[in-house]
Structures are given as C-alpha cells and as structure tokens.
Amino acid sequence: MTSQTFLQLDLVLHITGFTMMAGFILADFVINRRLTRYLLTDKPRAASVMESVAVFPRLIGIGAALLIVTGIAMVVIFKGVIAQMLWFKIKMLVVLLILLNGGIVLRRNSNRLKSLLQTNDDRHNGNILQVKQRLGVFQGVELLLFLIIFVLSIFKF
C-alpha cells in the first residue's frame, strides 16, 4: 500500500470517527430534548428512554478512539509538519476539551439523572430539572466544539 493510499484510507477513517462522535452527540441532544416531556410526569418512561441511549457513550468512545488513532497516523505520515501549524494546535485543544467535557460532565450528570429518575420521587423534581439543564448546556457546548473543529479543518491557517 502506498503512503498516498494509506493517507486516503486514514482520512476516511478519521472523518468516520468524527462523524460518529458528532452524530451520536447530536442524536443524544435530540433525544434528550424529547425526554423533557417525561422527566417529571412519567419517570419510568424517562428512565426507559435514557436506557435506550445508554450505548451512545460507548459508540462515542469508539469514534473518539478511531479519530485519535487515525489523527496520530496522519501526523506520522506528514512527518510531524502538520503538528506545527496554528490551526492544528487549536484543534488539538478543542479535541481535549471535548474529551474532558464528555468524560467528566456527561458521565457524572447522566448517572445522576438516571439515579434520580429511578427513585421515582417527586421531591427530586428540582434536582432532575437542574441536571437536565446541565446536560443540555453540555450537549450545546459539545456541538459548538465540533463545529469549531470542522471549521478549523476546512480553513487551515
């Protein structure tokens, strides 16, 4: 396999990883918007909806791993030259923010919301709404960060 073919294959897999991550975050965002209907009135149904999207973090992680491995491979193919460019350095910071935001904020708040819903206690409604609001902010920030990465990858400077 020539290095050009390897680079093209690498780029396809890199874009696939990016699409997986951003796509599942977007799907989670849309589903959680609809989840709001059931949060306070039908907690078992809301918990069921959350259970149906429980696989998303694993799929996002697979996309992230694919993105990172193929990104490193492309840096190696370009002999590290690309890593010296400003747009690439900014992109790496944004990727780090996405990973930290997802690993810390999403996991903690999703687990908290799940446990609050499983109690099926109306006294926790305030906490449920607060956690749901934090998840909405998280998802909005994640989508914005993905948009920034997309723009940086197109308008290389």
**pLDDT at residue 105, rounded to an integer:** 85
Nearest CA to 146 among 6, 7, 13, 29? Answer: 29
- With 80 as the cut, is the pLDDT of residue 120 above it? no
3-state helix, strand, coil in the chain (%, to 5): 85, 0, 15
* Domain around 26: 3-154
**pLDDT at residue 63, rounded to an integer:** 95
Amino acid at 126: G
Nearest CA to 64 among 11, 36, 102, 38? Answer: 102
Q: Distance of alpha carbon 90 from its chain centroid, rounded?
A: 18
The token pair that represents 116 in the structure block: 């609050």
CA gap 154, 74 in Å, rounded: 16
Q: Which pLDDT band holds residue 96 (cuts at 50, 70, 90)?
A: very high
Calculate helix-pair angle for 107-119, 125-154, nearest 10 degrees.
Answer: 150
Please check whether residue 110 is in contact with residue 47, taking contact to mean a CB–CB distance below 8 angstroms.
Answer: no
pTM for the full predicted model: 0.84
Give the whole-number percent of the chain exceeding pLDDT 70: 100
Q: Which pLDDT band holds residue 36 (cuts at 50, 70, 90)?
A: confident
* Total number of domains constituting the chain: 1
- With 90 as the cut, is the pLDDT of residue 103 above it? no
| Average pLDDT of span 115-119 | 85
- With 90 as the cut, is the pLDDT of residue 26 above it? yes
| Average pLDDT of span 79-97 | 93
Question: Which single residue is written with the structure tokens 């926790």?
Answer: 124
> How many DSSP H helices and E strands does the chain contain?
6, 0
